A and B are shown apart, each in its own frame.
Chain A
Amino acid sequence: MDFIAEGFVQAFRLLVSLDPETFSAILATLKVSSYSMAASLIVGVPLGFLLGYARFKGRKQIRLIVDTLLSLPTVFVGLVVYAFLSNRGPFGEWGLLFTLPGIAIGQAILALPIVIALTATAVESIDDHLRLTLISLGAGRKQLFLTSLWEVRYGVLAAAVTAYGRVMTEVGISMMVGGNIKWHTRTITTAIALETNKGLFGMGVALGLVLLFIAFFVNVSVSFLRKR
Chain B
Amino acid sequence: MMKIGKTLAICVLIITLSALSALCETDVLMMATTTSTDNTGLLDYLAPEFKKDTGIELRWTAAGTGKALKLGENCDVDVLTVHAPGAEKTFVEAGYGVDRREIMYNDFVIIGPKSDPADLKGKSVSDALTAIQKKEALFVSRGDNSGTNKKEIILWKEAGLRVPEKEKWYIQTGQGMLSTINIAAERNGYTMTDRGTYIKYEFNSGGNPPLAILVEGDDSLKNQYSVIAVNPGHCSGAEYETAKRFIDWITGSKAQDLIRNFKLLGKPLFIPNAE
B-contacting residues of A (Cβ < 8 Å)? Answer: 31, 34-35, 38-39, 41-42, 86-89, 92-93, 95-101, 104, 146, 149-150, 179-182, 184, 194, 196-200
- Residues of A near B12 (CB, < 8 A) are 38, 42
In chain B, what residue has the closest Cβ to A31? B18
A-contacting residues of B (Cβ < 8 Å)? Answer: 1, 8, 11-12, 14-15, 18-19, 22-23, 30, 35, 39, 44, 59-62, 74-76, 175-176, 178-179, 181-182, 200-201, 204, 235, 237
| Complex CA distance for A39 and B59, rounded to whole angstroms | 27
- Interface pair B176/A197, CB less than 8 Å apart: yes
| Complex CA distance for A197 and B30, rounded to whole angstroms | 22
Assuming the contacts A100-B22, A101-B18, asked whether A88 and B61 have C-beta atoms less than 8 A apart, the reply is no
- Interface pair A39/B30, CB less than 8 Å apart: no
In the assembled complex, how far is the CB of residue B114 from the closest CB belonging to chain A, in whole angstroms?
A: 18
- Of the candidates A34, A87, A100, A184, the one whose C-beta lies within 8 Å of that of B59 is A184
- Of the candidates A31, A35, A98, A199, the one whose C-beta lies within 8 Å of that of B201 is A199
Residue from A35, A97, A99, A199 with most neighbouring chain B CB atoms (10 Å): A199
| Complex CA distance for A97 and B39, rounded to whole angstroms | 22
A-B contact list, 9 entries, CB within 8 Å? A87-B75, A93-B237, A95-B22, A98-B30, A99-B22, A100-B18, A179-B61, A198-B39, A199-B201
- Interface pair A86/B18, CB less than 8 Å apart: no
In chain A, what residue has the closest Cβ to B236? A87
The secondary-structure label for the interface of chain B is: helix
> How many CB-defined contacts (below 8 Å) exist between A and B?
81
| Complex CA distance for A34 and B15, rounded to whole angstroms | 9
In the assembled complex, how far is the CB of residue A103 from the closest CB belonging to chain B, in whole angstroms?
A: 11
| Complex CA distance for A198 and B18, rounded to whole angstroms | 31
| Complex CA distance for A67 and B135, rounded to whole angstroms | 52
- Of the candidates B19, B60, B74, B235, the one whose C-beta lies within 8 Å of that of A101 is B19
- Interface pair B15/A95, CB less than 8 Å apart: no
- Interface pair A198/B178, CB less than 8 Å apart: yes
- Residues of B near A101 (CB, < 8 A) are 15, 18-19, 22
- Interface pair B8/A199, CB less than 8 Å apart: no
In the assembled complex, how far is the CB of residue B169 from the closest CB belonging to chain A, in whole angstroms?
A: 23
| Complex CA distance for A45 and B256, rounded to whole angstroms | 56
In the assembled complex, how far is the CB of residue A224 from the closest CB belonging to chain B, in whole angstroms?
A: 15
- Of the candidates B19, B60, B176, the one whose C-beta lies within 8 Å of that of A181 is B60
- Interface pair A180/B61, CB less than 8 Å apart: yes
In the assembled complex, how far is the CB of residue B70 from the closest CB belonging to chain A, in whole angstroms?
A: 10
Assuming the contacts A31-B18, A86-B74, A98-B76, asked whether A197 and B44 have C-beta atoms less than 8 A apart, the reply is no
| Complex CA distance for A98 and B76, rounded to whole angstroms | 9
- Of the candidates B14, B19, B76, B178, the one whose C-beta lies within 8 Å of that of A199 is B178
- Interface pair A181/B59, CB less than 8 Å apart: yes
- Residues of B near A86 (CB, < 8 A) are 74-76
- Interface pair A150/B179, CB less than 8 Å apart: no
| Complex CA distance for A138 and B211, rounded to whole angstroms | 79
Contacts A98-B76, A101-B15, A179-B61 known; 17 new A-B pairs at CB < 8 A: A34-B14, A38-B11, A86-B75, A87-B237, A89-B74, A92-B75, A92-B237, A98-B59, A100-B18, A149-B1, A182-B44, A182-B59, A196-B179, A197-B35, A198-B39, A198-B176, A199-B204
In chain B, what residue has the closest Cβ to A97? B76
- Interface pair B11/A34, CB less than 8 Å apart: yes
- Residues of B near A180 (CB, < 8 A) are 61-62
| Complex CA distance for A89 and B235, rounded to whole angstroms | 12
In the assembled complex, how far is the CB of residue A100 from the closest CB belonging to chain B, in whole angstroms?
A: 7
- Residues of B near A104 (CB, < 8 A) are 15
Give me the 6 closest cross-chain CB pairs, A-B, nearest first: A179-B61, A87-B75, A38-B11, A197-B176, A199-B178, A86-B74
In the assembled complex, how far is the CB of residue A141 from the closest CB belonging to chain B, in whole angstroms?
A: 16
